[in-house]
Structure 1
Amino acid sequence: MHPAKEFFDTWADFYDTDQQAQDIGDVSFYVDIACEADGPVLEAGCGTGRIYLELLRAGVDADGFDISESMLAVLEAKAAEEGLSPSVWEDDMTEFDPRREYDLVIIPFRTFLHNTTLASQRAALRNIYDALAPGGQLVLNAFVPAFDRICETYGEPETTTTTRDDEEFVVTDLTVIEDEPEQIIRVERTVERDGDIVREGIFRLSLITKNEFELLFEVTGWSEWTCYGGFDWDPLEDGSHEMVWVVEK
């Protein structure tokens, strides 16, 4: 079982509400790329459909999978309300069996970082490579592990406020470095309503630098790759918050 599955199974019915406070501006970016694809598109880690359902609305021929059956149940319920027909299934990117050959695979919202070992990172990239047609692309994003942010915010609770059904919820994240040699962080997330904790969970992410991504692409057989500093195709430079990778088979 993937180590993040328990968190997302627990979080599924609150995930969309939580996302209101975590918008990173990536939806139109991924929809535009998918609309330009010459063949089917696969989203690895499609969750509750934040991006996947937008692909269907845009007429993209898209499949998706996620480690959490509970997240997929939310996606399918939302799709049914709109008369959409999703093609999604429960799976793990480190061992999934592709339903067909894809022109594009996307991994939005830093989902790749939930693979916290070299073995799982390599396995995921090799599986995705095998799922792509010749000349196909992988596009993913991950946050830049900036030392100033790590020093200033890790170990300190970060709080945001969101609403659902006219009720206000306070979401608190406490991020700490759990394993310094392996560069793995642990995020403890809680949700409060009127001072009472109504949801809590823990997940872990790997801090992966630009050079480490490039080594991963090299050892898993990709032909070339380009890294951008955000969803506007800006160059990656000091001060960039997001690494956006376009990787060619």
Structure 2
Amino acid sequence: MEDDDSRVDSYRLERARFYDRQLAGIDRPDVDYYRRLANDVDGSVLEIACGTGRVYLELLAAGVDVDGFDLSADALSVLRENAAERDLEPSVWTADATDFETDRRYDLAICPFNAVQNLPTIDDQLSALESVHDALAPGGRFVFDVFVPGFDVICETYGEWETKSTEYRGEAHEVRTRTRMADEVEQRFAVETELYDSSGSLVFAEDDRLSMLPKRQIELLARASPFSDWAVTGDFSDEPIEDGHSIQVWKLVV
């Protein structure tokens, strides 16, 4: 049993390292967007599901008073390694978004890059909103982004494996990914990822389950939450969301 548990932990840490390296190469406007929001507040900032620090470390490097937490201890290990390479001192801890408490009250809480979609049930989603609300100071805001479910993308790409060659740890690897509907009634989907080294040996395999969150469902969640007001814009533009936008950016106000 000890060997099996150790292998699972190794897979998860390896996955966190690979995920971090892959994200380093993406061009997504969310970092600049959240950095601007964070610089505009006078008080402290909390990042929920900060992962390996793609957004968090940029806020910290910009001088923002920012804390963060994530459910994955392995992701936070990678974040701390990245912080050490940049001579940054992070304030992060392991916690569950559905049930967390903080000693501080923040002026801004953020949850970037679809992380809210990892909450599987309505109860989990509402619990997370309540926990975030309790962590905010009066007038504080919770800002998060999720994608707009695109039926053309679902019809054309879901269910199909995609294989790409990539470099990892200085060696050639092959990564296979597939997104598929896991539960059509509950609108849950799975993202499967497999990484193989140059000899064809499996490095890790993960199956993440996420929730589709169309605009109307999030609005219903906001209405049922303790937040007093909310608004949604599209594609980090600060413009009202409309057909054609691929990203929902929600701002909930205490």
Aligned to 2:54: 50
Structure 1: 5+ residue stretches without partners = none
| Equivalent pair of 1:137/1:247 in contact (CA under 8 Å) | yes
Aligned to 2:246: 241
Aligned length: 245
| Equivalent pair of 1:227/1:236 in contact (CA under 8 Å) | yes
Farther-moved stretch of structure 1 (76-85 vs 121-130): 76-85
| Equivalent pair of 1:20/1:162 in contact (CA under 8 Å) | no
Aligned to 1:222: 227
| Equivalent residues in 2 for 1:25-174, closer than 5 Å | 25-174=29-178
Using the TM superposition, give the Cα deviation of residue 208 of structure 1 relative to its aligned residue in structure 2, in angstroms.
Answer: 0.8
| Equivalent pair of 2:160/2:179 in contact (CA under 8 Å) | yes
| Equivalent pair of 1:154/1:176 in contact (CA under 8 Å) | yes
Q: Over alpha carbons, which structure has the higher Rg?
A: 2
Q: Secondary structure at the match of 1:49?
A: coil
Aligned to 1:208: 213
CA distance in 1, matches of 2:160, 2:58: 35
Q: Which amino acid aligns with 2:98?
A: T
Q: Which amino acid aligns with 2:99?
A: E
TM-score (ref. length: structure 1) = 0.91
Aligned to 1:17: 21
CA distance in 1, matches of 2:239, 2:105: 30
CA distance in 1, matches of 2:13, 2:130: 26
Using the TM superposition, give the Cα deviation of residue 79 of structure 1 relative to its aligned residue in structure 2, in angstroms.
Answer: 1.3
CA distance in 2, matches of 1:24, 1:71: 20
| Equivalent pair of 1:174/1:189 in contact (CA under 8 Å) | yes
| Equivalent pair of 2:24/2:54 in contact (CA under 8 Å) | no
Which whole-Å deviations, capped at 9, do the CAs of 1:39-84 have from their partners, x for residues lacking one? 1000001111111111110000000000011111111122122221
Farther-moved stretch of structure 1 (21-30 vs 129-138): 21-30
| Equivalent residues in 2 for 1:181-192, closer than 5 Å | 181-192=185-196
Q: Secondary structure at the match of 1:70?
A: helix
Q: Secondary structure at the match of 1:73?
A: helix
Relative distance call for 1:170 and 1:78 in structure 2 (3 A) is: same
TM-score (ref. length: structure 2) = 0.90
Farther-moved stretch of structure 1 (42-51 vs 75-84): 75-84
Which whole-Å deviations, capped at 9, do the CAs of 1:103-136 have from their partners, x for residues lacking one? 0000001100000101100000000011000110
RMSD over aligned Cα, in angstroms?
2.0
Q: Which amino acid aligns with 1:243?
A: Q
CA distance in 2, matches of 1:104, 1:83: 25
> Post-superposition, which runs of at least 4 consecutive aligned residues in structure 1 deviate over 6 A?
none
Q: How much identity, in percent, do the aligned residues show?
A: 44
Structure 2: 5+ residue stretches without partners = 1-7
| Equivalent pair of 1:160/1:170 in contact (CA under 8 Å) | yes
| Equivalent pair of 1:12/1:74 in contact (CA under 8 Å) | yes
Relative distance call for 1:237 and 1:72 in structure 2 (3 A) is: same
Farther-moved stretch of structure 1 (191-200 vs 228-237): 191-200
CA distance in 1, matches of 2:194, 2:175: 6
Using the TM superposition, give the Cα deviation of residue 21 of structure 1 relative to its aligned residue in structure 2, in angstroms.
Answer: 5.4
